[in-house]
Structure 1
Amino acid sequence: MDRFEPLRRRTIALVGLMGVGKSSVGHRLANALGLPFRDADTEVEAAAGRAIPDIFAEFGEPAFREGERRVISRLLDEAPHVLATGGGAFMDTKTRELIKAKAISVWLKTDLEVLARRVGRKDSRPLLIGKDPMEVLKAQAEARYPTYAHADITVETGDAPHHVTVDQLLRALSAYVEEQSQ
């Protein structure tokens, strides 16, 4: 048995603020573990047949969150994989309960200045349209951090290269799985 085999038994769900690297780091974590990678946002767009900003504009955030919950529920019923969730997914009580029951949840936590720099480079985030990224991130951190703290594991990442973050994740996941098996 290789040392990562125990990490392949359950889905690993990445949670955290926008720009923290759930998708980019998630891809690399999945590759390191030999697991499939799934991105909840991509899956929501495929299910809805439209982009997330369009879903927000046309139906509002509550409808988006409902669709997101259904998609995440379906994904969690699949074989183990690495799942990048949307930044607000874990805030929904029912979605959080599904993740806690069927996956190992990992909060990726990064300094807000780093996140503001990252998210300021894209205009594809509906919650940032016409707003100062740092103000939005501060408000989200205040609102979301107490809930994100309910994740099984917290990994503090910095502005390090992705492979450093993946190594941190592998160590934290291994320690968690080891602790749970005792």
Structure 2
Amino acid sequence: MDTDDNGAPQARGPALTDYLTGFPAPLAVAGTGLGLGTITSWSSHGADDLTTALEVLYAHGTRLALAITTVRSTHGIDPRGLPIETPAIQLINFLTRAAVHTTPEDPAARLEHDRNIQHTTDQAPRTTVTVLCDGHPVTGQRVTVLEHAVIELPWHDKHTVLCAGPHDILDTLTLRTATPEDLAHL
């Protein structure tokens, strides 16, 4: 158990399994054949008390290798709380976390940097891809920018999955629904 400088247990937020209880979509995780091992970290996205997306991250050694974001359906959500996850945002977040491209320290310069990535991603051509999801072929779209790619797929009929990473990982990407064993260490 982690402790602070005084030996007291550190405060921890809700566990991923707590978020999954109220999340309407099954969580997407990397297929075992990718050789990425276990999930290294996770995050939630949303507004107010509404979780709109759950993200799991995988590392290859010390480097971020893959980000998988499961985005809930917009059906029944107040328009003010709609998910804003897009391939451009997924790529910006991945590149920032992976420190693949140096981002400026100045907030205005960083905003301009992110806008350039967003514009480049939005303008880049999409290609159709097929990814095995829970053993079934699913057709989606792939966009390649800055030596990385994002794949956007439908997930369990009405939800969406966004996957960002380097080409070599996304070229062999498979997804599956998370099991309790996948999440036990988080």
Is the pair's TM-score, using the shorter chain for normalization, greater than 0.5? no
Higher relative contact order (CA 8 A, sep 6+): 1
Q: If the length of structure 1 is used for normalisation, what is the TM-score?
A: 0.27
Q: If the length of structure 2 is used for normalisation, what is the TM-score?
A: 0.27
Larger Rg: 2
Structure with higher strand content: 2
Structure with higher helix content: 1
